[in-house]
Amino acid sequence: MSFSNIFLRPFHTSKECYHIIKMSRLRVVDNSEIGRRAMAEGKPPKCIHVYNKKGVGTIGDKVLVAILGEKKKGILVGVKKHQPPRVPKFDTNNIVLIDDTGTPLGNRIHVPIPVMLRTILKEKTFAKGVDYTKILAIASRFV
């Protein structure tokens, strides 16, 4: 379905356009090798699973992406959809690629990430589980 087709619908679809669901295209914002290559080749990763109960991803959720024929996990660090007051909204849906232990594949994030991610990721991290807080260390700027 092309973008213009969605606009011709008689009902409001922009809210759903911004949902991060299966098959949504995302943008890798770290400098990992695979992420950089995928964005440069014009083949942005495609979300193939959202690890939450709703199936619609938002800031701090883990997603499984298909990127250049591989399956990788990523954390959403900024979304397009409408946000409550004080929470930033971005022009793109951004992810940072991580491996199974929560270590980011790159070593720098080149866009701003929301400050509330710090609290959200700390809450998701347990003593013997995956440590998501490592991506906070490679962030360049918080808004």
Footprint of another protein (CB under 8 A): 3-4, 7, 10, 14, 29, 78, 83-92, 94, 110-112, 115-119, 140-143
Report the residue number, 41 or 91, with the smaller CB distance to another protein: 91
Strand partners, 41: none
Instruction: Name 33's Cβ contacts closer than 8 Å, sequence gap at least 6.
Output: 105
Report the residue number, 8 or 69, with the smaller CB distance to another protein: 8
Question: How near is the Cβ of 79 to another protein at its closest, in Å?
Answer: 12
Question: How near is the Cβ of 87 to another protein at its closest, in Å?
Answer: 7
CB 29 within 8 A of CB 98: no
Question: How near is the Cβ of 86 to another protein at its closest, in Å?
Answer: 7
CB 79 within 8 A of CB 60: no
